[in-house]
Structure 1
Amino acid sequence: MSRRRPASHPSADDLLTELGRLTAQALEQAELQQARVELAEALQRELLPSALPQLPGLRAAARYAPARHGLSIGGDWYDGFRLPDGSVAFSLGDVQGHDVEAAAFMGQVRVGLRAVATMAADPGEVLDRANDLLISLDSRLFATCSFLRYDPTNRDLAHARAGHVPPVWANTDGRWGHCTDEGGPPLGVLPGEKYPVTHHRLAGSGVFVLVTDGVIEGPAFPIEAGLDRVAAVLRARVADEPGELATELLRVADLTGHTDDAAVLVLRYDD
């Protein structure tokens, strides 16, 4: 009769060696992820403008904040620049996805919008051309965006949006609301799309605000509730300086859980 050999069990030294290997592997992965997060955040901040254009009767301010837990970083942007005809343009948007790739694509979108805007004054045409440009890049990513053009000669604010959340506004006379401007699909999805334009005459004194969904939406916080909260802040602090108001609006993201990066653009207009 053959005798069964007793089953071998790993020694304490073997268990410690394997535990050390797994720990080193986990630390390496964590360090790699942290390095990617830090690179994405640095790239994101470097690609955002250091200043926005200011005009008599129109002052602008913007703020950006990475996600609270440092994982969903890269993709949100704001921008503002002067156009050859004396008007100024502003954009705010959000690239699908996060990390270094999204931050780099955000830079392409922002530069593309600037380049197109110098040749097309109409915001809808700017988004039309930018959409086709992004599709030609054959990227896997897409972006939501709002694009504004302000004409100081008649105080006309022209707005076109591509899959982005609507603007919110408030006047010092007590009126306020969510803009119901018609829009089109996100940029970089469907070729040949046309983006309608809505015109707003900035009469009196007040604020016109754009936000990304990281400000107003969370796992248990619907967009509608976030927009209502933004409107409440505007109504209560409509007389604040644009920078102070932008900072206060970013705090709305704390209510949503701040699980995504967030950007705010505030335009303050006065007679």
Structure 2
Amino acid sequence: MARRRPPRSASADDLLTTLGQLTARAREGAELHQARVELAEALQREMLPAALPVLPGLRTAATYAPARSGLDIGGDWFDGFPLPDGALAFSIGDVQGHDVEAAAFMGQIRIGLRAVAAHAADPGEVLSRANDLLLSVDCGLFATCTFLRFDPVAWEVSSARAGHVPGVWATVDGRYGLAEDAGGLPLGVMAGEQYPVTRRRLTTAGAFVLLTDGVVEGPSFPIEAGLAQVSRLVSDRAGDDPAVVADAVMSVAEFTGHTDDAAVIVLRYDAADGAG
């Protein structure tokens, strides 16, 4: 004779009902979060430029990799645009936070930098004005940034940093190093901040690389090791096509165990006329 299962108590039924409700809410919450992530990623990618400007003797390339943590996105960006005097401007940076707000703030910074750069040739002045402009918006976020100006007449790059990771340079004769120039606080932190400018005349053909910390730092990799690896890599490929260099630099992120997003800009330049 088959045994009959004892009826579940009311408390057990209530528990199952509660678990079902919690599961449904969790699913709805995850779906909403994922929708925000997808929106932020779409905003971010649409706001990044499709291509960077070039000049005779200067080739450029950039690449971007989204965050790998599943539910978070980042606020890294890169940009490049011509200036009214014929020079080229390039910027790269990293916004605090991982959400739609960070992606939207990234767009504000890019637009602000472009607007300011049209009226201020000095990279330090560009960052200083952009900093005060962003503080006036009062959104509560901040961003690190490097702004670089390429002068096709002097064949010179001038750059300023706002709390950002240093760039990497290398020449085809085997020299390389970090552009650990003096800088200021991240954008959006303190009104009136000043940003020193470093100038380099490009007397020897080579490459100049700007990147975000997502490329060189992660749970299993200190930033010093990441920068050292990128420096050696750029030195080995200083004469290569900039797109190849950009992809190679981005590959370093695979060794860091990073979860942040990452961006890379490569400027591949010939030597200045008359230079060795």
Partner of 1:18: 18
Match of 2:89 in 1: 89
User: What is the Cα-based RMSD across aligned positions, in Å?
Assistant: 1.4
Return the alpha-carbon distance in structure 1 between the equivalents of residues 179 and 115 of structure 2: 27
What stretches of structure 1 of length at least 5 have no aligned partner?
Answer: 1-7
Quick one: distance in 2 between partners of 1:27 and 1:233?
A: 44
Q: Give CA-to-partner distance per residue, 1:210-251, whole Å, 9 cap, x none.
A: 110111111232111110111121122222211121112111
1:138 paired residue number:
138
Count, aligned residues: 264
Q: Which amino acid aligns with 1:66?
A: P
Kept after mapping to 1: 8 A contact 2:53/2:60: yes
Q: 8 Å contact 2:209–2:267 — kept in the other structure?
A: yes
The Cα of 1:175 is off from its aligned counterpart by 0.3
Cα deviation digits, residues 139-168 of structure 1 (max 9, x gap): 110010000001111111001000001111
Structure 2: distance between partners of 1:110 and 1:96:
15
How far the C-alpha of 1:14 sits from its partner, in A, is 2.8
Q: Deviations over 1:38-81 (max 9, x none)?
A: 11100000011111100011111111111123333131100000
d(CA) in 1 for partners of 2:37 and 2:139?
21
Alignment check: 8 A CA contact 2:239 2:268 kept = no
Secondary structure of the 1:174 match is coil
User: How far apart, CA to CA, are the structure 1 residues paired with 2:156 and 2:71?
Assistant: 39
2:249 counterpart of 1:249: yes
Q: Secondary structure at the match of 1:55?
A: coil
State the 1:265 CA deviation.
0.6
Consecutive unaligned residues of structure 2, counting only runs of 5 or more, are 1-7, 272-276
Q: In the alignment, which residue of structure 1 is the partner of 2:183?
A: 183
Matched with 1:70 is 70
Q: Which amino acid aligns with 1:24?
A: A
1:12 shift after superposition:
4.2
Which letter maps to 1:176? Y
1:117-266 residue pairs with structure 2 within 5 A?
Answer: 117-266=117-266
Deviates more, 1:113-122 or 1:253-262: 253-262
Contact 1:242 1:267 in 2 (8 A): yes
Look up the equivalent residue of 1:57 and give its one-letter code: G
Cα distance between partner residues in 2 of 1:71 and 1:200: 41
**Deviation at 1:20?**
1.4
Give the Cα separation in 1 of the matches to 2:62 and 2:197: 23
Contact 1:91 1:148 in 2 (8 A): yes
Q: Is the 8 A contact 2:226 2:252 kept in 1?
A: yes
What letter corresponds to residue 98 of structure 1 in structure 2? H
Runs of 4 or more above 3 Å deviation: 8-13
1:146 aligned counterpart, secondary structure: strand
Whether contact under 8 Å (1:72, 1:261) holds in the other structure is no
What corresponds to 1:4 in structure 2?
none
The percent of aligned pairs where both chains have the same amino acid is: 69
Residue of structure 1 in register with 2:102 after alignment: 102
For the 8 Å contact 2:206–2:238, the answer to whether it is kept is yes
Provide the C-alpha distance between the structure 2 equivalents of 1:10 and 1:234, rounded to a whole number of angstroms.
69
How many angstroms apart in 2 are the aligned matches of 1:74 and 1:256? 17
What is the alpha-carbon distance in structure 2 between the residues aligned to residue 244 and residue 71 of structure 1?
30
Residue 179 (structure 1) shift: 1.2
Distance 1:12 1:191 in 2: 60
CA, structure 1 residues 11+180, in 2 after alignment: closer, same or farther (shift >3 Å)?
A: closer
Q: Which residue of 1 aligns with 2:274?
A: none
Please name the residue that 1:41 is paired with.
Answer: 41
SS of aligned partner of 2:97: coil
Amino acid at match of 1:266: V
Letter in 1 for 2:228: D
Spell out, residue by residue over 1:104-133, the C-alpha distance to the aligned partner (whole angstroms, 9 max, x if none): 000000000000000000001101100110
3-state SS of 2:147 partner: strand
Distance 1:84 1:258, change over 3 A: same
